[in-house]
Structure 1
Amino acid sequence: MNKKKILIIPNQNEDNKYIDLMKMSFCEAGFIESSYIRADYISINWYEGVNTKNYFRAWLSFLKKIFFIFGSKIIGKKIIWTFHNKYPHNNRYPKLALFLERMIVLNSKYIIIHSKSSKLFLLIKHPKAKTKNIIFLPHPNYINSYPKEDIKRKELVETEKIIFLFIGMIDEYKGVNHLINAFNLIDSRAAILKVYGKVSASYKTVLENTLKSSNIELHFGFVDDSNISRIIAESDIIVTPYLPDTMLNSGTHILGFSYGKTVLTTPTCTDLDIDSKLWFRIDESQSMEDSILYSVKNIIKNYSKGDLEYMGTQLLNLMQRDYSIGKIANMITKTIK
């Protein structure tokens, strides 16, 4: 039997293992990677953004993408689009991006969603999307995706303080300035905040000027794959104060769950698919800083490190059972024909 040929765009992402994991999922489902000319399927990710600063180049990028979508469909390619974000991040031309996204939706054979909760939002945003074209595939877990150091608990920095961790690309929509402001008011004897990730020069200055407490550690710059396991192992809980209506799914949460960590977050659809007793919600009805402060104090007062570890273990078990490459490959086999 001839294997189905697929081209996944982008073909790689140095900052994220997601593309590699999806390649593995499709390959286990019987697909093989191919060039554009030979591909039967074109899987596109984050394709709807039009983010260049130059207006002329933005239009040129937009027209190229429109031509690519229509051209691919005309010559018989089956387009698979993954609905990653509510809106493209740092989007400079929202009208162009929305029109482009509509054209992608209307011309895609399949639309992948990584959280069941995101289907409703997709249909509200794109009422002409065909329900039969929407397929749910779990976001692949990150278990064994990064080099794992032989870390024994006793080798970790022993502290009674609860260690909160933000890890990943640091953008304004992720609310890290609010996080630092909140931790400036937390008793340094009770908790530590560690921030790791790449950041723009301008936002770095904002964050450094916001810092006022000794219980906050800022580690700016690219986080090497070899350090990710250790950094997460040294924490008790991941914290992501995403600004409202900016995030649909969170790969950072899947990463944390894959390493047995719970999260404190403004809810994304990733979290809404999971038992709410296993993670902590930042209340969006208050100001962001007040909500973070209230939630952190609640965790410090009412949860031990053992409680957080238990929640993380349950999440790790969930990742192993329902978010594995094998499970996703099986779902691909049944849905993408």
Structure 2
Amino acid sequence: MDIIFNPPVNEENQYIRILVAELRARGYCIHPLDTIFSSSKHFRSIRLVHLNWFENIDGTSVFAALRSFLRKLVVLTAIRWSGKPLVWTLHNRVTHEAGTAFLSRVLVRLLVRWSDRIIIHSGQSEAVLAAYGAKVAERVVYLPHPHFIGVYGDAVTATAQGHGPLQLLFIGMVKPYKNLELLMDVVGAFGQRVHLTIAGKAMDEGYAQQLIDRAETMGNVALLPYFIPDGELPGLLGRADAVVLPYDLRSSLNSGTAILAFSYRKTVICPEIGTVSDLEDHTLDTFCYRYDTAGGHRKALGEQIERALARKAADTQALDDMGGRLYQHVASAHDPHRVGDELDRLYRGILDKHRPR
């Protein structure tokens, strides 16, 4: 069965590879969105279109943003007019890029209106979509975010660190909305009691240099400003006591990095985004928090780091035990094979309704 699952490849995001592999194992032939107009025969062969992050706009320049928006508008309109079933996954509350927010909102409105099904990965997403009308809920389907157990290699058991510094790790793309300057300031106040490693590539070299300069003035922050190869991830995670993700609650909703941490037996220090709130009783195995202002974020983050320090001081095994319980939870609740089965059933149910009578 020929479908479009876009993007079909993302070397820096194993979420895509996992889902594409599950779909191919169930007989789907995956095509990229860029080929949709390659020929009339190919266009007719496409049975269904599934879009991820389609609302994101190229914000490198005003011209690039307008070109990206118009191109996506044409494609989305063609899918609508052709009658092809459309599935869209909601990943974020809003775009992380403030400069393209208006254009992104236009695409989101069309995606909400025209999608046959909207996939969500967290309960908080329902409240986001409720703003578009009560009837939208009829087309919303929850699917767990697949875990990453074993995807980057086996988990590495850290060398016993006893009562040494609290080892924190931030991992992922280095972008302003992730509040890394705030994180560095908060960690700096703890001195040698806390050590932070920031690992990830920045899209903007100027921003990367700002962080490098700041880290050089601190004695407890290490910066690895490059894309981390898959083989290095288990070691980085293994040396950490916890993964720290000080996301912006205004835009963040789900976190594949949090799922990655749980998949490698690590707890997180993180705002109560959708991924964390869905843990229900297992939120007690995280250091989650809420905030309303930048000052409130700084205070809450510092309090949770202090809590993690106290927990480690009282029991050097405590943080590992928290991570172990989170691992057990995602191993069961976020099984990629289960996600693949549910996605297959979703597609076939939609296609059955679109089949000519």
TM-score by length of 2: 0.86
| Deviations 1:211-260, CA, capped at 9 Å, x for gaps | 34322211111111110111111111000111231201011101101101
Distance in structure 2 (CA, Å) of the matches to 1:222 and 1:127: 40
* Residues 9, 129 of structure 1: alpha-carbon distance in 2 compared, 3 angstrom cutoff: farther
Distance in structure 2 (CA, Å) of the matches to 1:158 and 1:28: 45
SS at structure 2 position matched to 1:44: strand
* Residues 283, 100 of structure 1: alpha-carbon distance in 2 compared, 3 angstrom cutoff: closer
How far apart are 1:136 and its partner, in Å? Answer: 0.6
Greater Cα offset, 10-19 or 129-138: 129-138
Q: Structure 1 regions of 5+ residues with no counterpart?
A: none
Q: How does 1:58-97 map to 2 (within 5 A)?
A: 58-97=65-104
Q: Give the letter aligned to residue 206 of structure 1.
A: Q
TM-score by length of 1: 0.90
2:197 paired residue number: 194
Q: Give the letter aligned to residue 306 of structure 1.
A: Q
Asked if 1:139 is matched to 2:168, the reply is no
1:321 paired residue number: 332
How far apart are 1:159 and its partner, in Å? Answer: 6.5
2:354 paired residue number: none
User: Which of 16, 19, 25 lines up with 1:19 in the alignment?
Assistant: 16
| Deviations 1:62-94, CA, capped at 9 Å, x for gaps | 222112112113223211111011111224232
User: Which of 282, 289, 296 lines up with 1:287 in the alignment?
Assistant: 296
8 Å Cα contact 1:105/1:129 also seen in 2: no
8 Å Cα contact 1:80/1:111 also seen in 2: yes
* Residues 9, 91 of structure 1: alpha-carbon distance in 2 compared, 3 angstrom cutoff: farther
SS at structure 1 position matched to 2:228: coil
Higher helix share: 2
Q: Give the letter aligned to residue 146 of structure 2.
A: P
Distance in structure 1 (CA, Å) of the matches to 2:56 and 2:157: 43
The sequence identity of aligned pairs, in percent, is 25
How far apart are 1:117 and its partner, in Å? Answer: 2.3
SS at structure 2 position matched to 1:264: strand
Asked if 1:253 is matched to 2:258, the reply is yes
Q: Structure 2 regions of 5+ residues with no counterpart?
A: 37-41, 350-357
1:8 paired residue number: 5
Greater Cα offset, 271-280 or 59-68: 59-68
- How many residue pairs match? The answer is 330
SS at structure 2 position matched to 1:92: helix
Greater Cα offset, 166-175 or 129-138: 129-138
Taking only aligned residues, the RMSD between alpha carbons, in angstroms, comes to 2.1
8 Å Cα contact 2:157/2:238 also seen in 1: no
Distance in structure 2 (CA, Å) of the matches to 1:228 and 1:268: 23
SS at structure 1 position matched to 2:268: strand
SS at structure 2 position matched to 1:326: helix
Q: How does 1:157-176 map to 2 (within 5 A)?
A: 160-176=164-180
Q: Give the letter aligned to residue 330 of structure 2.
A: M
